[in-house]
Structure 1
């Protein structure tokens, strides 16, 4: 007997065209099966469903039908114009068809009511246009017309069987009150959750005055799926789901290429600058020059001809240009030639998810190779505390996937503590390079210090340097220590002056000692020559004395011999 395979059947899936939803479901909605899409008012049910049809008609050669039970098709078309889907073109090409099925408000039912007539009409239309997808929007409207639960269950089963028989990939939308089991929809409609092959819940709530939208895949028969809640946004491109990085996804390309920070001595501290495509976090208290450092990076990137976007949550673009020009950073020429785009988001409010989508869209439109966000801690404003960290993580992940070098500043709010600490978003562990700026108050002065807390993949300086700003630019000075205390500003200048004076005195003392030694050496040389001359004279004198004595002795000997000869004495008997 042939042994049955233990592997589960493969469920065919239909791509949705919704960013992130395909990743959550492992490839899309179940093809040829039914998906229930439930959510409260304004949660995006109609937009997601319509986007599903548009993607199928335009990119998958799968024409679709939209059955509208709640809103007229003319209004749906008008509302969808803002997304750029060109629905009228798809209608003209017979790839998209709208059915208006709204019951009149004064409808009075007389006799039996069922879906047979509607299904017969849909069958003819589906065969005529070879439809593969269908959306029945607000199915709860038609179910409410039925007199009892038995009738509702009968008609839902009839609809479900009809969809399966015609192998249509279907979405049924229904109203719900939230994620709670009892509030999905009226209790009499709840059996639909068990009948469909896939169930997706949409939630739209307001947290501390900030709109939050979330999506959760509740079930998906025959397929693995992401069960966690995921935030979503309705943007000008439609429905977008923000999903986190999944296990097994291909890593982003990495490179050993370096890009300058815009400050030469900081590049030296980093071993050559930032890595291309890295994420850089600059933390510090107000006024520590976070914006200045990020502006120096933006200017240097523009000098290289790299398109750069500078997003400021604190100032208008013109103010950023003016303020940075006071420290020698000239951004206006690059704004004028289009290399640099400065986006002001001051006073703009909204959810962190909205910020993320807007940042991504603007950066992609500008084709930014480098991106500055000043400060990224704005994402954690009131109402976004629960989602800000996730948004920051996905921002870094997105920038890495595009090879964009990301420089973010983060404001530390605790002025009472001068500790380095983490950012409010707690993304310091995700950043590749973490630069911290702080104050040092000494002798009535407040001076800026800079240190590199970490820089992955490269050796980096562990020293604290003084960050100095002037109209000629940004420089770093060595910090001096005295008795274990770091000196900056005037105290550092005094220390440097004292060291210069000490060095000069030491040099003068060495020169004087050198001259004195030269004099003593010369004196010794003179004395040595004098002694050498005296020695030679004594040697000559000694030699003369010796020769004189020898000469005298010879003369005496010769004289005695001559005298003896003259006396004629006997040589043997001298007198």
Structure 2
């Protein structure tokens, strides 16, 4: 029996439209809450984009709410639909499936139409069968899969448009929400249904030169409803389709209190003017091996010691390598990972879409209450983007969101080159970060040494000195200011008055 939909509002207040949940994680957020009841919608995408999966999830959500639902298939058999459901661990219980496929005897030469066009016979027959099933089942949700068959049977754009308009009028009078699937196999893009539908959702699949396929969706139209525009990444995994809504930082503006977070190293905190502030971002930049990641992890360990949660997203090394490296520095990362105070996510740029990466960060902040996020490194983050020119825009939105959430963000950026003033960074994020910490190699007495300095800090005053920096089995060491050298940042400094700087 069809579930009754309770009225909303009361008195003289205007009633809010009833919204139907899609049953697809993240998609209701994109749609502004779901699909308005008793309307006709279009879901389009190339074969393999996930239309059938979304359709089944949409109907399963209706079944879970006690509604009567109908799946009308004009191209796939019920057995094939069952196979799709089983691949996700679902059953089709509660979903009425009606096959509108040609009979086997249609292959016989005697059964081929010679005097009439198929649209004059088959279209009318199938339409009558569909209408009879709807009157019998009285569904509140109906899926048509797919429009390609109706388009071919109609034989012309005028007849096709009139057929869709008639179906729309029929279902609206019977309080049905109709989801039409279109596989875009027509030679020319057909805008007939787009103009008729109440909302249009398009699924796209991108195939980069290397790595897994990237999928994204866009809502091109939704009459009388605010929705989240732009492209949103999604993936198809066992359990169905999952959408990662585009991050809009302006929607997350809780008040935060500016407090300093220490690193646990007195000299480093002095260099940073007491530490870093909550809700700010810090960029550690330097040549490979200068200790950028180690300093970022030091802040994360200090936060874990205070009982807070820190989230590390690493692109350039494995979790085992990270643990081994930290053990070699006496930092003991393992116990904090095991206790859950430090959560490490190894990111494969070839497999993870930018939208899913942002979704993982949001989960760390909103579900696991992470107060610190480390992205190591920006170079890997750059490679995770399908199109480089959008990296800075998305990074700006991400940092704004984290800042408004009171999260201290650590960014690690590796420069090209080892020594000299011609060091280059693949992406310049220094103007986005609130603080910039520079680590450099320099030559001294036949040895390669390291130096650390703070170039920028919006949260307050900081030291202008360049300090000695080193790593050993006892951990991180920040030494005294290198006042007896000139030209340290060139990589080949000159001693002043022939006196060497202390270590």
Aligned residue among 135, 155, 162 for 1:123? 135
2:204 maps to: 203
- 1:43-442 equivalences in 2 (<5 Å): 43-58=49-64, 64-80=69-85, 87=91, 91=93, 94=94, 96-103=95-102, 107=106, 112-113=121-122, 114=124, 115-126=127-138, 131-176=139-184, 185-187=186-188, 189-210=190-211, 211-235=213-237, 238-245=241-248, 249-345=251-347, 349-357=351-359, 368-381=370-383, 383-393=386-396, 395-396=398-399, 399-400=402-403, 403-413=406-416, 415=418, 418=421, 424-442=426-444
Structure with a larger share of its residues in helix = 1
CA distance in 1, matches of 2:82, 2:399: 37
**1:7-58 residue CA offsets vs partner (Å, 9 max, x unmatched):** x998765444545544544443343211211111222222333333444554
Offset at residue 245 of structure 1 (A): 0.7
**1:94-120 residue CA offsets vs partner (Å, 9 max, x unmatched):** 5x4444444457746656122121122
Q: Is the CA contact (8 Å cut-off) linking 2:315 and 2:381 kept in structure 1?
A: no
Q: Is the CA contact (8 Å cut-off) linking 2:440 and 2:451 kept in structure 1?
A: yes
CA distance in 2, matches of 1:497, 1:448: 13
Cα pair distance change 1:87/1:426, threshold 3 Å:
farther
Q: Is the CA contact (8 Å cut-off) linking 1:257 and 1:276 kept in structure 2?
A: yes
CA distance in 2, matches of 1:226, 1:337: 37
CA distance in 1, matches of 2:55, 2:63: 13
- 1:505-524 equivalences in 2 (<5 Å): none
Computed over aligned residues only, the root mean square deviation of the Cα atoms, in angstroms, reads 3.9
CA distance in 1, matches of 2:46, 2:158: 25
Task: Give 3-state SS (helix, strand or coil) of 2:440's partner.
Answer: strand
TM-score (norm: length of structure 2): 0.78
CA distance in 1, matches of 2:273, 2:47: 55
2:116 maps to: none
CA distance in 2, matches of 1:79, 1:360: 30
Unaligned runs of 5+ in 2: 1-13, 114-119
TM-score (norm: length of structure 1): 0.70
Q: Is the CA contact (8 Å cut-off) linking 2:233 and 2:354 kept in structure 1?
A: no
Cα pair distance change 1:83/1:246, threshold 3 Å:
farther
Offset at residue 474 of structure 1 (A): 1.0
CA distance in 2, matches of 1:457, 1:440: 29
Offset at residue 475 of structure 1 (A): 2.0
Offset at residue 158 of structure 1 (A): 2.2
Unaligned runs of 5+ in 1: 1-7, 178-184, 499-575
**1:514-557 residue CA offsets vs partner (Å, 9 max, x unmatched):** xxxxxxxxxxxxxxxxxxxxxxxxxxxxxxxxxxxxxxxxxxxx
CA distance in 2, matches of 1:56, 1:420: 58
1:552 maps to: none
Q: Is the CA contact (8 Å cut-off) linking 1:311 and 1:372 kept in structure 2?
A: yes
Offset at residue 228 of structure 1 (A): 3.3
- 1:555-574 equivalences in 2 (<5 Å): none
CA distance in 1, matches of 2:316, 2:407: 23
Offset at residue 477 of structure 1 (A): 2.0
Q: Is the CA contact (8 Å cut-off) linking 2:210 and 2:350 kept in structure 1?
A: no
Task: Give 3-state SS (helix, strand or coil) of 1:372's partner.
Answer: strand
2:5 maps to: none
**1:243-296 residue CA offsets vs partner (Å, 9 max, x unmatched):** 13165x241342223333343322233333233354333222211111211221
Offset at residue 194 of structure 1 (A): 1.7
Task: Give 3-state SS (helix, strand or coil) of 1:256's partner.
Answer: coil
CA distance in 2, matches of 1:82, 1:306: 40
Cα pair distance change 1:439/1:231, threshold 3 Å:
same
Cα pair distance change 1:352/1:444, threshold 3 Å:
farther
Cα pair distance change 1:459/1:339, threshold 3 Å:
same
Offset at residue 225 of structure 1 (A): 4.6
Q: Is the CA contact (8 Å cut-off) linking 2:232 and 2:355 kept in structure 1?
A: no
Offset at residue 121 of structure 1 (A): 0.2
CA distance in 2, matches of 1:26, 1:393: 24
Cα pair distance change 1:324/1:250, threshold 3 Å:
closer
Task: Give 3-state SS (helix, strand or coil) of 1:162's partner.
Answer: helix
Aligned length in residues: 471
Q: Is the CA contact (8 Å cut-off) linking 1:352 and 1:387 kept in structure 2?
A: no
CA distance in 1, matches of 2:232, 2:430: 23
Offset at residue 343 of structure 1 (A): 3.9
Bigger drift between 304-313 and 159-168 goes to 304-313
**1:405-440 residue CA offsets vs partner (Å, 9 max, x unmatched):** 43232222355764677x545444443433232223
CA distance in 1, matches of 2:388, 2:324: 33
2:9 maps to: none
Relative contact order, CA 8 A, sep 6+: which one is greater?
A: 2
CA distance in 2, matches of 1:432, 1:119: 63
Bigger drift between 67-76 and 290-299 goes to 67-76
